């Protein structure tokens, strides 16, 4: 059965009319998507007066009523247009049940792919030596440019960051206040030069370190690193002690979960399905030692900023019913 759905679209303060000349309160599209997966109650509706960055639940994401993917408010307009053009077909169906076709063809170099269902998850064992690990920890603890600071976002721990700064609330990418230091850029070069096809073009321009203390109850709550502002590849360097990272897929109650061991001095790579379809987190009990440090390397999607600029003039206010997102994961 096809459901008639209502999509109410609008523009932010100062822009009373869209390009077609319609008043913003008049811009209502009715359409019947090809799939009837959504109930008739489900609608996207604009909300006025908050700059268009947050839904009523405070989320920077909303659910597309057509494909049901979570999309950033800042990119919702383009997404819905593309989705409409596809007749409501999900533009990126979850890939969790199949391995990326590229995986078979790419030279993996030292990357060991997950043996089970986590397509796009790789481990590079002994990415750094014992001496390099000691130097890195000493560098981080010396805190000459930045001290460890407590964080509450995505779970309690201490953290610091380098390189471009992703503002998850404002949906912008800002210049670096703390440039990536040579001790980290050397590691980025190693990833690119020795990491085979998966990392061959990886040029991280941001990194964050997290310092977990088991006795303080630290953990990493399940999250996606930002799927609009961060790039396709994430690399987590593991220091001081081992842990198990838990990947979860699907809605609460019916979610599948898979634990992956992350040995100290290894580099974990997340891309493809594991990066986009599975949340990742680390429970306190899965920290194997009293202290664990991770450094996560990412590429920012610079086009995310450009898009934000282009859309700045006519931002969408989109609030999906109950559409609170668990995104906003990246540090």
Ligand X SMILES: O=C(O)CCC(=O)C(=O)O
- 260 touching ligand X, by CB under 6 A: no
Q: Which long-range contacts (CB under 8 A, 24 or more apart) does 144-149 make?
A: 145/178, 145/181, 146/178, 148/211
Total residues contacting Fe ion (rule CB under 5 A)? Answer: 1
Least distance in angstroms from the C-beta of 64 to ligand X: 24
Site string for Fe ion, 218-247 (x = CB under 5 A): -------x----------------------
Least distance in angstroms from the C-beta of 310 to ligand X: 28
Q: At what angle do helices 130-142 and 182-194 cross, to 10 degrees?
A: 140
Residue 214 is encoded by which pair of tokens? 């088991």
How far apart, in Å, do the first and last CA atoms of the chain sit? 42
Pick between residue 45 and residue 225 the one whose CB is nearest to Fe ion.
Answer: 225
- 220 touching ligand X, by CB under 6 A: yes
Pick between residue 38 and residue 235 the one whose CB is nearest to Fe ion.
Answer: 235
Q: Cβ neighbours of residue 185 under 8 Å, at least 6 residues apart?
A: none
Pick between residue 4 and residue 215 the one whose CB is nearest to ligand X.
Answer: 215
| 324 secondary structure, DSSP code | -
Select from 63, 133, 225, 308 the one that contacts ligand X (CB under 6 A). Answer: 225
Instruction: Please state, in angstroms and as integers, the Cα–Cα distance from residue 78 to each residue in 52, 74, 136, 205, following that order.
Output: 14, 9, 42, 26
210 binds, among Fe ion, ligand X, none (CB under 5 to 8 A by kind): ligand X
- 280 touching ligand X, by CB under 6 A: yes
Site for ligand X in 301-330 (CB under 6 A): 329-330
Residue 106 is encoded by which pair of tokens? 């790419």
Segment (H or E) for 230: strand 230-239
Residue nearest to Fe ion (CB): 225
Site string for ligand X, 169-208 (x = CB under 6 A): ---------------------------------------x
Total residues contacting ligand X (rule CB under 6 A)? Answer: 12
- 296 touching ligand X, by CB under 6 A: yes
* Residue among 206, 226, 172, 270 at smallest CA distance from 61: 226
| DSSP one-letter string for 144-184 | SS---EEE-TTSSEEEEEEESEEETTTTEEE--SSPPPHHH
Contacts with ligand X, residue ranges (CB under 6 A)? 208, 210, 220, 225, 236, 280, 282, 294, 296, 329-331
């Amino acid at each position: 059965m096809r459901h008639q759905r209502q999509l109410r679209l609008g523009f932010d303060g100062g822009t009373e009319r869209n390009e077609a000349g319609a008043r913003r309160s008049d811009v209502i599209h009715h359409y019947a998507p090809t799939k009837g997966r959504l109930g008739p109650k489900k609608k996207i509706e604009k909300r006025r007066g908050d700059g268009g960055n947050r839904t009523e639940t405070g989320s920077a994401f909303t659910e597309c009523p057509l494909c049901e993917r979570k999309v950033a408010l800042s990119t919702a307009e383009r997404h819905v247009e593309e989705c409409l053009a596809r007749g409501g077909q999900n533009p990126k169906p979850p890939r969790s049940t199949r391995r990326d076709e590229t995986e078979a063809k790419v030279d993996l170099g030292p990357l060991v792919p997950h043996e089970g269902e986590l397509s796009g998850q790789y481990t590079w064992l002994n990415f750094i030596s014992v001496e390099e690990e000691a130097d890195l920890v000493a560098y981080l603890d010396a805190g000459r440019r930045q001290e460890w600071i407590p964080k509450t976002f995505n779970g309690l721990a201490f953290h610091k960051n380098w390189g471009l700064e992703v503002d998850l609330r404002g949906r912008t990418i800002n210049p670096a206040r703390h440039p990536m230091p040579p001790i980290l850029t050397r590691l980025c070069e190693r990833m690119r030069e020795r990491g085979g096809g998966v990392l061959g073009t990886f040029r991280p321009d941001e990194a964050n370190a997290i310092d977990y203390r088991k006795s303080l109850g630290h953990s990493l709550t399940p999250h996606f690193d930002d799927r609009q502002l961060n790039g396709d590849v994430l690399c987590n360097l593991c220091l001081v002690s081992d842990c198990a990272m838990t990947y979860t897929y699907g809605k609460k109650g019916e979610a599948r979960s898979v634990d992956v061991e992350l040995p100290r001095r290894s580099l974990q790579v997340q891309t493809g399905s594991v990066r986009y379809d599975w949340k990742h987190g680390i429970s306190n009990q899965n920290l194997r030692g009293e202290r664990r440090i991770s450094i996560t390397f990412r590429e920012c999607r610079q086009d995310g900023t450009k898009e934000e600029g282009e859309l700045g003039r006519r931002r969408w206010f989109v609030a999906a019913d109950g559409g609170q997102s668990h995104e906003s994961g990246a540090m």
